[in-house]
Amino acid sequence: MTKFKVSVVFTILSLALQFAFAVGTNYTVGAPDGLWDLNTNYAKWVSNITFYPGDNLLFSYTLQHDIWEVTEADYTSCTKGTPLKQYRDGNTLIALTETGSRYFYCSVGSHCSNGMKLEVSVVPTGSSPPSSPPPNGTTPVSPPPPNGGAATNGIWTRSAIAPVLGAILMIFL
């Protein structure tokens, strides 16, 4: 194989891998019926969504609210201890980069105890959604992304990356 072909193959592989790990689904918290506010039922909103590493949460809110990322204990009790992270910009994008649970609430007044809190569980890529049936026999539907169009779902890209890379290599070898 010539040096040019080797260079092209490595460039394509590098770009494909970067793309595969960068693509995820963007979720506007509370959409389509609400945002980060006191009127949205976050337990209901999150119940039909499976989050994977690479997905993002977009919190849109007025400046009379904030977002604290907290420990499970602080989340459960709405304790205003020391947050892991704080956000107050009104339009916060939070990347879900690792598996596990993440906990968020609004620290203003009694907003947390009045339901303005969100627990997100991030599962490994390729794992199945939770097997519990959706409430009231409804079919799970993910909310639209911030732009109102179809969701950008990175699962296809993640699961198809090996065959695509294999095909590219076959062309150049």
Same domain for 12 and 80? no
Query: Are 8 and 172 spatial neighbours (Cβ–Cβ below 8 Å)?
Result: yes
Same domain, 103 and 127: yes
Q: What is the mean pLDDT of the chain?
A: 76
| Residues 76-104 as b or e (16 or more Cβ within 10 Å = b) | eebeeeebeeebeeeebebebeeeeebbb
pLDDT value at position 173? 56
**Mind giving me the DSSP string for 20-72?**
HHH---EEETTTTT--SSTT--HHHHHTT--B-TTEEEEEE--TT--EEEE-H
Helices (H) and strands (E) in the chain, counts: 4, 7
Summarize pLDDT for 47-98 with one digit per residue, the tens.
999 999 999 999 999 999 999 999 999 999 999 989 999 999 999 999 999 9
Do both 173 and 96 map to the same domain? no
Asked whether residue 65 falls in the same domain as residue 44, the answer is yes
How many domains does the chain fold into? 2
- The predicted model scores a pTM of 0.64
Q: What's the pLDDT tens digit per position in 141-169?
A: 343 343 332 233 443 334 444 455 455 55
Domain shared by 10 and 79, yes or no: no
User: Are 77 and 114 in the same domain?
Assistant: yes
Q: Look up the CATH number of the domain holding residue 82.
A: 2.60.40.420
Do 47 and 73 lie in a common domain? Answer: yes
- Residues spanned by the domain of 41: 25-153
